Amino acid sequence: MIPSVHRESKVIVNLAAIKANVESEIKRLSEGQELFAVVKANGYGHGSVAVARTAIEAGATGFCVSNLDEGIELRDSGITLPILVLSYVSPDYLQLIHDYKLSVTCPSIEWLQQINKMSETCHLKSPILIHVKIDTGMGRIGIRHRQEMKEVVDFFNSNSNFILQGLFTHFSTADSVSIEHFELQQKRFEKARDIFPENIPYIHTANSATALWHDAWGSNMIRFGDAMYGLNPSGRELPEPYPLIQAISFESTLIQVKRVSQGEKIGYGATYEAVTDEWIGTVPVGYADGLRRSFQGFEVIVDGEKAEIVGRICMDQFMVRLKRAVRIGTKVTIFGRNGTLFNSVQSGAEYVNTINYEITCGLSDRLPREYVSEMDRIGE
């Protein structure tokens, strides 16, 4: 999708905030631990390459992505640090994995057998680096059974084309007050750990939540994702051990302001009716930009004042109720700071009953990304 640069609507990413968040976590690391920045899904909507470069400045020593293309994008942008693809990559792409020097995830013994067969027809000048995923209770990809784990160990012991670089799992409730399932997953990973060699370079269980609230349990590498962007992985369930600074803002402008009479209807389905004569402003972004229809009623910030979204969000526009006539071209802040007011991504997530990750990942590529590094613009 081509960014719509000829309208005054954009996502602003403050790289100073991202740098500060990474530095705060690195200060908490113990000797021998390192931080890999998670820049999958276009850096949670912030822009993967710009975020990755900032994370390097802050001290990150590697990156995690979701798929092969995301890893290739970083390499093509000149990033040479280690990159781990966390999700499934088809063995058919072994040559690309090799050529772009990417580490990949092993989800099963069958996958290892398939990629080994593929290696017979590829030109491998160096071994493929592999991280084995243990499914301790997330239920996504990964190995669950002891016998299969033993077969995986035997595979690496007998095959020099592939190196066991990492062993990892993912905790599904590390961001929760309840620790029962977290402790179950810990026990399962400990049992798996006993089967594998002791000298594996990377052992990692710590996503942002595990790093923040469980001392990066069992990890010498931290996969730092949501928190890097200044977002609390738990929403508001658990307090942050240090201030996380929201890096993203979402801004637009008023393109029309009109006076409507009492009783006039606004928007698709006529779901809003003016209760008195009212000033209505129109903003040129909508659900095609990632602002869900269910944001009707959410308050954005116009000229330093709250303004309620009235009527359903349209594909390309939404309407707000203003307290007075406001000049066309006035800034409208959906998320971020405007005057003395601040709209957090978390507040938006709560309004539409989702998580903060989904809000930022949903901001479409139609919105241009503008990058700033201004300490006086970070945080609430």
Mean pLDDT taken over the chain: 96
Average pLDDT of the segment spanning 121-127: 93
If asked whether residues 83 and 220 sit together in one domain, one would say yes
* In a shared domain, residues 173 and 264: no
Domain co-membership, 224 together with 341: no
156 with 266, same domain: the answer is no
Tell me how crowded residue 247 is: count the other CB atoms within 10 A of its CB.
Answer: 31
Residue reference for tokens 């600074």:
245
Calculate mean pLDDT across residues 108-124.
95
Contact by Cβ (8 Å): 48, 42: yes
Domain assignment of residue 241, yes or no: no
CA dist., res. 128 & res. 243, Å (int): 39
Domain assignment present for 8: no
Q: Flag whether pLDDT at 183 surpasses 90.
A: yes
Using an 8 Å Cβ cutoff, are 310 and 272 in contact? yes
Tens-place pLDDT, residues 188-222: 999 999 999 999 999 999 999 999 999 999 999 99
Which residues neighbour 149 within 8 Å (Cβ) at sequence distance 6 or greater?
134, 143, 192, 195, 196
Q: What pTM did the predictor assign?
A: 0.95
Query: What are all long-range contacts of 354-357, with beta carbons under 8 Å and residues at least 24 apart?
Result: 355/235, 356/226, 356/231, 356/232, 356/235, 357/44, 357/226, 357/231, 357/233
Question: Is-catalytic flag, 40?
Answer: yes
Residues 186 and 275 in one domain: no
Domain boundary pick from 194, 229, 264: 229
134-162 confidence digits (pLDDT tens): 999 999 999 999 999 999 999 999 999 99
Last residue of a domain, one of 229, 263, 297: 229
> What does the pLDDT average to over 347-356?
98
Lowest mean pLDDT among 264-278, 312-326, 362-376: 362-376
The pLDDT of residue 356? 98
Q: Tell me, what CATH number does 311's domain have? A: 2.40.37.10
Q: How many other C-beta atoms can be found within 10 angstroms of the C-beta atom of residue 61?
A: 14
Residue 1 counted as domain residue: no
Residues 194, 298: one domain?
A: no
Q: Is residue 73 part of a domain?
A: yes
Q: Please state the rounded mean pLDDT for residues 302-325.
A: 97
Q: Is residue 26 part of a domain?
A: no
d(CA 356, CA 17): 17
Q: Is 159 helix (H, G, I), strand (E, B) or coil?
A: coil
3-class DSSP state for residue 351? helix
The predicted structure's pLDDT at residue 1: 75
φ, ψ for residue 143 (rounded to 5)? -95, 135
Q: How much is the average pLDDT of 357-367?
A: 97
Q: Is the pLDDT of residue 80 over 90?
A: yes
pLDDT above 70: percentage of residues in the chain: 98
Quick one: pLDDT at residue 374? 79
Share of the chain above pLDDT 90, in %: 97
d(C-alpha 114, C-alpha 119), whole Å: 9
What secondary structure letter does DSSP report for 355? -
**C-alpha to C-alpha distance for 306 and 112, rounded to whole angstroms:** 56
What pLDDT is stored for residue 365 in this prediction? 96
- Are 92 and 148 found together in one domain? yes
Residues 214, 297 within the same domain:
no
Alpha-carbon span 345 to 307, nearest angstrom: 17
Mean pLDDT of 354-372: 97
254 and 225 housed in the same domain:
no
Q: What is the pLDDT of residues 245-290, one digit of tens each?
A: 999 999 999 999 999 999 999 999 999 999 999 999 999 999 999 9
pLDDT tens digits for range 16-39: 999 999 999 999 999 999 999 999
Q: Is residue 379 part of a domain?
A: no
Task: Look at residue 379 and tell me whether its pLDDT is greater than 60.
Answer: no
DSSP 129: E
pLDDT of 377 strictly over 90: no
Find the domain containing 348 and state its range.
Answer: 248-372
- When divided into structural domains, the chain yields a total of 2
Do residue 169 and residue 265 come from a single domain?
no
Q: Given the residues 40, 44, 202, 287, select the one marked as catalytic.
A: 40
Residue 315 annotated as part of some ligand binding site: yes
**Same domain, yes or no, for 315 and 216?**
no
Flag whether 222 is in a domain: yes
Name the residue among 217, 221, 219 with its Cα closest to residue 37: 221
Task: Report which of 316, 306, 310 is spatially closest to residue 255, judged by C-alpha positions.
Answer: 316
Question: Looking at the predicted structure, is the pLDDT value of residue 378 above 60?
Answer: no
In CATH, what number is assigned to the domain containing residue 45? 3.20.20.10
Domain boundary among 195, 229, 263: 229
Whether residue 195 is found in the same domain as residue 308: no
Any domain includes 315: yes
Backbone Cα Rg of the chain: 24
Judge whether 53 is annotated as a binding position: no
Mark whether 191 is an active-site residue.
Answer: no
- Active-site residue identified among 117, 187, 242, 268: 268
Query: Which pLDDT band, with edges at 50, 70 and 90, does 376 fall under?
Result: low
Dmax over Cα atoms in the chain, in whole Å?
79
